Structure 1
């Protein structure tokens, strides 16, 4: 009986959590319809709620924005918009900080989370997986060993929180496993081993 119960849980738990996460994401994105005037909201136009419509519209707007911002005219408009925002106190600091982080994490030239590393943390003899996020620059680089790297050490099972370290490159080991495999290993607390022979 216990064996069947565990087997059943192993089947249902991932499905239920996946469905719950997707439902939460879609429900949150559907709230974007509230930005429309009440007279233009689909609920009022057709008399009932279309679940997922806000998500679809949000995705279309994001993709459309990306297409426009990818051409020369769009890039010029983005620069003008950023120039306007840079003149507004408080907004300037918030926008520039968020943009710098998003460019680092999502931009094609960003180096964040491009390499999985093995480091000794929090003390010698204790090992954990980390991710290279870049290299120290400016004043920081002057006080650190010549060849240093910036490292993010995620916590488990929630890798969105963690610790930021700067370490000598000689003290980190670059792993062949992909970032996705490393994240799975961290989230599973080491119970899901990276697949061998694919690298």
Structure 2
């Protein structure tokens, strides 16, 4: 009986969590419908709520924004808007930092997380997966040896972590794609996949 119970849990727990996350995401994105006037909202003229319409609206807004920003006129408008934002003291710091991170992570020309590394953390006898980022010029100028900037994500949520500068001679570069390394971290090593080759 215990074996059957555990087998059932192994089936229902990941399925239940997946459905819960999807439901949470859909309900959150459905809130975007609130920006529409009351008489424009689908519930007003259909008489009932259709889950997921907010997802469609969000995707439509994102795609249309991208199409608008891709042409010359749209790019000029976006540039004017950004120049306005960076003149506001508090907004300048927040928007500038977030935009730099998002441009680096989402654009094809970004340079973040291009290498997967092994670094000794949290103590000299342990190794942790890390992603190489960029060392600011001001930091590189005062460090005595060549260092690399590393981001060590936490498990199972890789959006949080630690940012360090480590001697380049003390890290091991792995021949592992970033997405696969993220899979290792999120799954806590369960989804091991193919083993990478050290290039250090």
Structure-2-length-normalised TM-score = 0.89
Which shifted more, 34-43 or 48-57? Answer: 34-43
1:145 CA drift (Å): 4.4
Partner of residue 8, structure 1: 8
1:106-160 deviations in Å (ceiling 9; x for gaps):
1222222222211111221211111112x21221111124532211111222222
Indicate if the aligned counterparts of 1:38 and 1:44 stay in contact, CA closer than 8 A.
Answer: yes
SS in 2 for 1:129: strand
Partner of residue 124, structure 2: 124
Which shifted more, 72-81 or 144-153? Answer: 144-153
Partner of residue 163, structure 1: 162
Partner of residue 72, structure 1: 72
Which structure 1 segments of 5+ residues have no match? none
SS in 1 for 2:104: helix
Partner of residue 41, structure 1: 41
Provide the alpha-carbon RMSD of the alignment.
2.0
SS in 2 for 1:193: coil
Q: Give the Cα separation in 1 of the matches to 2:141 and 2:170.
A: 18
Matched residue pairs, number? 197
Which structure 2 segments of 5+ residues have no match? none
Q: Give the Cα separation in 2 of the matches to 1:43 and 1:144.
A: 61
Structure-1-length-normalised TM-score = 0.89
1:70-94 deviations in Å (ceiling 9; x for gaps):
2222211211111222233322222
Q: Are 2:173 and 1:174 aligned?
A: yes
Q: Give the Cα separation in 1 of the matches to 2:91 and 2:180.
A: 38
Residue 196 to residue 128, structure 1, CA distance change in 2 (3 Å): closer
Q: Give the Cα separation in 2 of the matches to 1:128 and 1:94.
A: 30
